[in-house]
């Protein structure tokens, strides 16, 4: 075990004993040190970075009670279940408790045997709890999802504002804030709002190397979604749509194809939403089609892909939503289906909401900037990992991430981009800059439509110039030219108050036409077919055949136990642990204890059942044990 100089050796032993974890992740050691020494702290680590352990392990070591503030009851329940399964005493205090629970919990807390108490912010500031916590002399507060306190975050919760009083209520205690939100603005806000005193600020590396990022041109969202789902059969995924209607439509089309996809959006009845969420967490459903309303409170760690059917409205949103993939650190994929039209859809939505009375004018400029940033990301021609990390203010040194469409050579520049661009721009000129994308595309394609004949556009010299290209491609290139400012989309007033979007040239268009300015157009290399999985050098993937079959059996056992105990499956064991069980196939409890995620409590509680399952499988299939 790597022992960090600053941390007591007992802490490492305790982490191994309870969590079956032998090595700390980056910044966990200093974050724990801050808790142990009672210095306020702000810890910013990406999703899946292991923030919980930073306050949980010190709480157990100190033997007193740490109070954890968490925004959602479902999150609290899962955390409490997870801690108990590791043999740690934890309770939650929330509005769902009965009076009896409340009294029993209060008594336990008073006895001083509870290591972690989870509360909602509104509950915390009620006097009875304040008194209780003072009575047992609480010295440590952990604020989870601390960005909820900031207006600038993506998930502001007014209740969190009340935490500003924490320092007055408990002047002796240290306060520790945890978030995955990478923006500087939000961080400053957290420190100010919570009035952290000379805090230790620890900001982790934001890259998520286990995520593979891809941006695909959207051609047929349904077909593309099916392709992805097919590639990840029996694995969990989230599909994000922009609108509720899209969610309903896509979910029902997928169900018609025999895929058990469940919808989730804010327009659904609360019990239907709850049903989707619970089925997903319990691994009874693997595909959720949702709006951005879905996500927080979903700690399912083995989400293997997140597919965006449309462009999100900011990179902050994208990072948050895509970040729900691969929390367990295993490989996962984030795919964004993009069309240049998404920018304009969002722009008009934003402009509409900005024109409502009482909206701060800075909202419009801020939102449009966010929109342009995410649009640039989608059009981007260099590494996606680098682009994301740099957007959040960090450096990215590696020349290739080997985990994005661009570095993997899946999206490439169109070789004759310049000529194609010139054809498109001349066509815009020929139709006198009075027509929109669709018309220009049909002229270039040489289509024989009523509209074209009526205008006599079949006689133009640009008619049919791009006859050999697909209209989706041409349309996409038009948007790419707009993105490079070599073409403009403007409004043409056709009657009083009625406008239609048309394409116009600007000075840069003329430079491109004269060959004085270079443009770049992108295109996917080939339609992606089922990609052989496990070909990655990644050493924690399973080999095909027996190992994967064993994995499915262990997963079924996990699901059964989870249902019996009414806890999420990942509270039993994570996929990482199951995979290691499949690879090593232990024959004794002793060798099982060495596996990641199996501490003493879980070994006692679950060891025999999983050992038997592994042994039975090996006997049936003539497989070696203790590999």
Binding interface with ligand ADP (CB under 6 A): 21, 23-25, 28, 45, 47-53, 301, 327, 574
In whole angstroms, how close is the CB of 144 to Mg ion at the nearest point? 6
135 binds, among Zn ion, ligand ADP, Mg ion, none (CB under 5 to 8 A by kind): none
Phi and psi of 305, rounded to 5°? Answer: -150, 150
Q: Among residues 421 and 576, whose Cβ is nearest to Mg ion?
A: 576
In whole angstroms, how close is the CB of 75 to Mg ion at the nearest point? 8
In whole angstroms, how close is the CB of 90 to Mg ion at the nearest point? 15
In whole angstroms, how close is the CB of 315 to ligand ADP at the nearest point? 19
If we measure between CA atoms, which residue out of 627, 506, 566 comes closest to residue 74? 566
* Residue 142 bridge partners (DSSP): 68, 176
Virtual torsion, Cα 230, 235, 239, 245, nearest 10 deg: 80
If we measure between CA atoms, which residue out of 525, 412, 420, 518 comes closest to residue 478? 420
Phi and psi of 236, rounded to 5°? Answer: -85, 140
In whole angstroms, how close is the CB of 47 to ligand ADP at the nearest point? 4
Q: Among residues 298 and 478, whose Cβ is nearest to Mg ion?
A: 298
In whole angstroms, how close is the CB of 307 to ligand ADP at the nearest point? 21
Q: Among residues 47 and 584, whose Cβ is nearest to ligand ADP?
A: 47
In whole angstroms, how close is the CB of 19 to ligand ADP at the nearest point? 6
Query: Binding segment for Mg ion among 47-55, 128-136, 262-270, 442-450 (CB under 5 A)?
Result: 47-55
Residues in region 385-414 near Zn ion by CB under 5 A: 385, 401, 404, 407
3-state secondary structure of 504: strand
484 binds, among ligand ADP, Mg ion, Zn ion, none (CB under 5 to 8 A by kind): none
Handedness of CA 437, 443, 448, 451 (dihedral sign): positive
| Cβ atoms of residues 124 and 153 within 8 Å | no
Q: Among residues 175 and 466, whose Cβ is nearest to ligand ADP?
A: 175
Question: How many angstroms from the chain centroid is the CA of residue 626?
Answer: 36
Specify the pairing of strand 174-179 against strand 116-119.
Answer: unpaired
Q: Among residues 83 and 242, whose Cβ is nearest to ligand ADP?
A: 83
Give the angle 430-432-438 at the CA atoms, nearest 5°.
Answer: 80
404 binds, among Zn ion, ligand ADP, Mg ion, none (CB under 5 to 8 A by kind): Zn ion
Q: Select the residue whose beta carbon is closest to ligand ADP and give its number.
A: 50
50 binds, among ligand ADP, Mg ion, Zn ion, none (CB under 5 to 8 A by kind): ligand ADP
In whole angstroms, how close is the CB of 70 to ligand ADP at the nearest point? 11
Q: Among residues 208 and 430, whose Cβ is nearest to ligand ADP?
A: 208
CB atoms within 10 A of CB 417: 19
Q: Among residues 388 and 417, whose Cβ is nearest to ligand ADP?
A: 388
CA-to-CA separations, 85 to 62, 69, 422, 565, 599, in angstroms, rounded: 20, 20, 65, 11, 10
In DSSP notation, 101-164 reads: HHHHHHHHHHHT--SEEEE-HHHHTSHHHHHHHHHTT--EEEETTGGGG-TTSSS--GGGGGGG
Per CB under 5 A, the list member of 221, 296, 383, 611 interacting with Zn ion is 383
Residues that bind Zn ion (CB under 5 A): 383, 385, 401, 404, 407
Interacting residue ranges for Mg ion, rule: CB under 5 A: 51
């Amino acid at each position: 075990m790597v022992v960090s100089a600053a941390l007591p050796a007992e802490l490492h032993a305790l982490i191994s004993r309870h969590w079956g974890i032998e090595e700390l992740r980056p910044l966990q050691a200093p974050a724990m040190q801050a808790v142990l020494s009672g210095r306020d702290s702000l810890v910013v680590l990406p999703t899946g970075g292991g923030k919980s352990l930073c306050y949980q392990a010190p709480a157990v070591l100190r033997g007193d009670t740490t109070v954890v503030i968490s925004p959602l009851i479902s999150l609290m329940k899962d955390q409490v279940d997870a801690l108990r399964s590791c043999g740690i005493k934890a309770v939650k205090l929330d509005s769902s408790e009965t009076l009896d629970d409340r009294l029993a919990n209060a008594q336990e807390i008073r006895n001083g045997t509870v290591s972690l108490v989870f509360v909602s912010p509104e509950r915390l500031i009620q006097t009875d709890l304040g008194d209780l916590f003072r009575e047992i002399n609480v010295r440590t507060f952990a604020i989870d999802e601390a960005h909820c306190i900031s207006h600038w975050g993506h998930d502001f919760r007014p209740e969190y504002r009340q935490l500003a009083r924490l320092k007055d209520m408990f002047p002796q205690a240290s306060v520790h804030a945890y978030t995955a939100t990478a923006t500087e603005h939000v961080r400053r806000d957290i420190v100010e709002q919570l009035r952290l005193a000379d805090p230790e600020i620890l900001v982790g590396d934001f890259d998520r190397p286990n995520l593979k990022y891809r941006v695909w041109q959207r051609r047929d969202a349904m077909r593309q979604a099916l392709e992805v789902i097919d590639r990840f059969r029996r694995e969990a995924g989230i599909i994000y749509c922009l609108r509720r209607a899209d969610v309903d439509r896509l979910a029902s089309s997928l169900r018609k194809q025999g895929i058990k996809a469940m919808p989730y959006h804010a327009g659904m009845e609360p019990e239907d939403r709850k049903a989707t969420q619970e089925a997903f967490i319990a691994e009874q459903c693997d595909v959720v089609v949702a709006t951005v309303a879905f996500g927080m409170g979903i700690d399912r760690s083995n989400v293997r892909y997140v597919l965006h059917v449309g462009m999100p409205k900011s990179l902050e949103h994208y990072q948050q939503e895509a970040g729900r993939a691969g929390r367990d650190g295993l490989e996962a994929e984030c795919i964004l289906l993009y069309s240049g039209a998404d920018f304009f859809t969002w722009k008009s939505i934003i402009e509409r909401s900005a024109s409502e009375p009482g909206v701060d004018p800075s909202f419009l400029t801020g939102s449009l900037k966010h929109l342009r940033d995410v649009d640039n990301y989608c059009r981007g021609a260099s590494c996606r990992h680098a682009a994301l990390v740099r957007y959040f203010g960090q450096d990215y040194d590696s020349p290739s991430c080997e985990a994005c469409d661009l570095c993997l050579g899946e999206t490439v520049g169109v070789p004759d981009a310049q000529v194609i661009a010139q054809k498109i721009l001349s066509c815009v000129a020929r139709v006198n800059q009075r027509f929109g994308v669709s018309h220009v595309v049909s002229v270039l394609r040489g289509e024989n439509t009523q509209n074209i004949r009526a205008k006599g556009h079949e006689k133009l010299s640009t008619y049919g110039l791009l006859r050999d290209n697909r209209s989706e491609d041409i349309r996409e290139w038009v948007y790419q030219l707009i993105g490079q400012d070599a073409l403009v989309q403007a409004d043409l007033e056709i009657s009083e108050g009625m406008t239609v979007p048309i394409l116009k040239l600007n000075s840069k268009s003329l430079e491109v036409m004269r060959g004085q300015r270079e443009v770049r157009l992108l295109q996917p290399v080939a339609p992606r077919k089922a990609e052989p999985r496990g070909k990655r050098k990644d050493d924690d993937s399973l080999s095909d055949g027996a190992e994967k079959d064993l994995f499915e059996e262990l997963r079924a056992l996990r699901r059964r136990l989870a249902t019996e105990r009414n806890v999420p499956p990942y509270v039993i064991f994570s996929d990482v642990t199951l995979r290691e069980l499949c690879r090593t196939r232990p024959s004794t409890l002793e060798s099982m204890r060495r596996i990641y995620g199996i501490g003493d409590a879980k070994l006692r509680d679950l060891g025999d059942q999983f050992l038997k399952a592994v042994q039975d499988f090996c006997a049936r299939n003539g497989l070696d044990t203790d590999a």
